Amino acid sequence: MSMTRIVLAIAVSVISAVSAWAQPPKEYLEQSPPSPTTKVVKLEFINSFDQSRGEALLEVPEKLSKPVPLIISPHPANWTPEMNRSIWAGVADQFGVLILHPVHQGKLNPRVSFGSPRQLGNLESAIAEVQRRYPVDDSRVYAAGLSQGAIESLLLAGHHPKRFAGVLSINTIADYLAFHQGGQESTEDTVSRFRSNTWTQLRKLFELDFGGTPDTARAEYYLRSPALYAQQLAQTPLILYWAENDEIIGRGATHQGGMLAELIRAFKPANFREVRHSGGHGYPFYRVDLEKLSVSLFPREIFLESVKEMLKFRRTAAEKSIPRSDR
């Protein structure tokens, strides 16, 4: 068997293992379906990174104001844009905003992109396509997402801090190097076992996707870590959720969300709110009880209040005066 086939076989095995837990719980999708009355438009565009074909779903509010705010929402690993719409059910019509759900462009699995350069080009090109078709308010462009979607929302703002009026990051990996190094212990035995298993699989997936281990592909781990962009993120209004008891991301306080919050505060942000919680990786949407193997949903108002808070922010004329080439 050739080396290429061996690597491909390993990749398929790892992705299959990761897929088992990466999908949103069936109970959540059943109880929080996308709004059936919201207009959804399918978009096609060209990814400026490599000229590949890109696609996205765009939720259009019933009452389309001119200009109209835009939220781009990259989805969690191994979700789909349609699954991601469940998070945003009813938001487009309630707040009068466009919500953009790009189809991801991951290296090994299209749905697993981890903030790669190609994926960021895909997200930026999707935004540009919406701006071309709709009267988007350039002072009110936002990025928001859960898990992998949180990582990529932070990376977008980190690369272009003057473009986004606000960011809502929910349960992100802040430092890929720290995650790869381990230390996934928990005071809850069931969480420790689950976290250890997913960490082992994710480490392998990172190495395949990033082109090696931190020893051989260190720059890639740095460049995809939101922590690297703490200074830039301090320039953008940000709501940062992270879990003390995240069943996937360990050492939250010292190496992930809590650490990122401290880094951002060091740069004196004007608008920054840290949401430290104990609702697990799916908060504020759902919680998986690993002991009882059950799923419970959180009140919808928790998320909607954060969306409402984010949408209050807007860029000034000076801040949004970005050369078109940067868009």
- What is the model's pLDDT at position 327? 38
The predicted model gives 114-141 an average pLDDT of: 98
169-207 pLDDT, tens digit per residue, is 999 999 999 999 986 555 566 666 676 778 888 899 999
The predicted model gives 58-82 an average pLDDT of: 96
CB 272 within 8 A of CB 264: yes
- What is the model's pLDDT at position 65? 85
- Rounded to the nearest 10 degrees, what angle do helices 117-133 and 148-159 cross at? 70
Domain housing 293: 3-326
Using alpha carbons only, give the angle 316, 164, 283 rounded to the nearest 5 degrees.
130
| CB burial string 70-103: b at 16+ within 10 A, e below | bbbbbbbbbbbbebbbbbbbebbbbbebbbbbbb
- What is the model's pLDDT at position 103? 98
Residue 323 pLDDT greater than 50, yes or no: no
The predicted model gives 277-282 an average pLDDT of: 96
CB 157 within 8 A of CB 164: yes
- What is the model's pLDDT at position 320? 52
Q: Is the pTM of this model over 0.95?
A: no
Residue 65 sits in a domain whose CATH number is 3.40.50.1820
Q: Point out the least confidently predicted range of 19-33, 121-135, 218-232, 275-289.
A: 19-33
- DSSP code of residue 227: G
233-272 pLDDT, tens digit per residue, is 999 999 999 999 999 998 999 999 999 999 999 999 999 9
14-57 pLDDT, tens digit per residue, is 454 455 456 799 999 999 999 999 999 999 999 999 999 999 99
- What is the model's pLDDT at position 187? 57
- DSSP code of residue 324: G
- What is the model's pLDDT at position 9? 47
Q: How many domains does the chain have?
A: 1
CB 145 within 8 A of CB 79: no
CB 182 within 8 A of CB 248: no
Quickly state the pLDDT bin for 321 (edges 50, 70, 90): very low
pLDDT averaged over every residue in the chain: 90
- What is the model's pLDDT at position 188? 61
* 228-233 contacts, C-beta under 8 A, 24 or more apart: 228/158, 229/154, 229/155, 229/157, 229/158, 229/159, 229/161, 230/260, 230/263, 230/264, 230/266, 230/267, 231/267, 232/157, 232/158, 232/159, 232/161, 233/154, 233/157, 233/158, 233/161, 233/167, 233/264, 233/269
Using a pLDDT cut of 70, give the percent of the chain over it.
Answer: 86
